[in-house]
Amino acid sequence: MVKTDQKATAQLEKPTTFDLNSYLKEQKALVETALDQSLAIGIPEKIYESMRYSLLAGGKRLRPILCLATCRLTGGSTEMAMPTACALEMIHTMSLIHDDLPAMDNDDYRRGKLTNHKVYGEDVAILAGDGLLAYAFEYVANKTDNVAPENIIKVIARLGNTVGAEGLVGGQVLDLESEGKTDITAETLSFIHTHKTGALLETSVVTGAILAGASAEEIIKLTKYSQNIGLAFQIIDDILDITATDEQLGKTAGKDLAAQKATYPSLWGLEKSQAEAEKLIAEALDQLASYGEAAEPLRAIAKFIVTRNH
Ligand code: GRG
């Protein structure tokens, strides 16, 4: 094994008394309650039911939890960040609804449940995604309290950039264009994933810091932290598509292989992909050095990303 890998492994294996399972359970419960309260059934009922079906279907709630944790780390509060945390999950959920459509990945299951279009039909699923996307912006603008207005505007602009052609939409288009091609380079794959998956994870961390009024220097470190965990997250996602079961994933495993999709394991093999993910996480942890104990949640989440099995 090369030196950097040994260093990375040592970083990841550093003992800690922080109980990530209890932390995630407690934070997830907070987020679930806030999401449930964020969207009441209105008229026409069907669209609200469809939006709530996917929004409240479970999932790890990683993006809101990252946003809340970063806001608290940089001097803000849970309350300041909760509307943005909910909006991040609304955006993530809408991207999953659209990603699962027959015109895109054509999936029947998501988060262990039938996909939105399987329950409500394609027409309503598209509109549920659109509804959630629009509502995310409205929710941040209307519900954020005790934050300087210029920081709320920064958050809204950042969310827009993350969703659009410079973010999720751009990544998804290149992903669709790359399907079935056998000559995808590591650069193209990196573009797809930094846009499709990394951008929203990065924005989850950075918006937490913006809401708290963090310094430019802090935002640079946290950006690097979040870019690294975002890429590592995708590498592990690719690995799990090969090594995990349908039950562990809550969706069909082995789809990348079946669709002949270029993935990190297909480019580098499983072992090198895992080593690269660990190296990225070790570098992410370096960015948190100046925070001491207070950064334990962000450290533990980073480590969880490379050790998760779902
Ligand atoms: C954003 C306007 C707009 C359109 C969507 C379909 C699309 C454009 C983009 C695809 C984005 C996508 C589905 C990326 C994959 C991200 C990913 C790794 C999802 C799985 O995230 P987890 O593991 O899932 O956090 P849970 O279920 O735990 O939330």
Tens-digit pLDDT profile for residues 5-22 = 666 666 666 767 899 999
Pocket test for ligand 1, best of 197, 252, 261 (most atoms within 8 A of CB): 197
Nearest CA to ligand 1 atom 13: 96
Q: At what angle do helices 296-307 and 62-73 cross, to 10 degrees?
A: 150
Q: Degrees (nearest 5) of the Cα angle 288, 292, 296?
A: 70
Lining ligand 1 with CB less than 6 A are: 59-60, 62, 92, 95-96, 98-99, 104, 111, 133, 163, 168-169, 172, 196-197, 237
Instruction: Report pLDDT for 245.
Output: 81
Distance 10 CA to ligand 1 centre (A): 31
Instruction: Report pLDDT for 45.
Output: 98
Pocket test for ligand 1, best of 53, 92, 195, 203 (most atoms within 8 A of CB): 92
Instruction: Report pLDDT for 2.
Output: 36
Instruction: Report pLDDT for 179.
Output: 86
Give the span between the Cα atoms of 147 and 212, in whole angstroms. Answer: 7
What top-level class would CATH report for the domain 3-10+30-307?
Answer: mainly alpha
Pocket test for ligand 1, best of 98, 205, 235 (most atoms within 8 A of CB): 98
Asked if 277 contacts 306 with a C-beta cutoff of 8 angstroms, the reply is yes
Instruction: Report pLDDT for 180.
Output: 84
> Tokens standing for 1?
């094994």
Strand bridging mode 109-110 / 113-114: antiparallel
In Å, what is the CA distance from 273 to each residue of 14, 184, 291, 304? Answer: 21, 16, 29, 16
Element (H, E) at 128: helix 122-143
Distance 92 CA to ligand 1 centre (A): 5
> Tokens standing for 251?
């969706």
Please state the atom number of ligand 1 nearest to the C-alpha of residue 60.
Answer: 28
Nearest CA to ligand 1 atom 15: 197
Give the span between the Cα atoms of 213 and 6, in whole angstroms. Answer: 37
Distance 104 CA to ligand 1 centre (A): 12
Distance 230 CA to ligand 1 centre (A): 12
Instruction: Report pLDDT for 7.
Output: 66
Instruction: Report pLDDT for 254.
Output: 74
Instruction: Report pLDDT for 15.
Output: 67
Per-residue pLDDT of the chain (310 residues; tens, 9 = 90+): 334 466 666 666 676 789 999 999 999 999 999 999 999 999 999 999 999 999 999 999 999 999 999 999 999 999 999 999 999 999 999 999 999 999 999 999 999 999 999 999 999 999 999 999 999 999 999 999 999 999 999 999 999 999 999 999 999 999 999 988 888 898 999 999 999 999 999 999 999 999 999 999 999 999 999 999 999 999 999 999 998 888 877 777 777 777 778 889 988 999 999 999 999 999 999 999 999 999 999 999 999 998 877 7
Distance 89 CA to ligand 1 centre (A): 10
Instruction: Report pLDDT for 1.
Output: 34
Instruction: Report pLDDT for 4.
Output: 45
Asked if 20 contacts 301 with a C-beta cutoff of 8 angstroms, the reply is yes
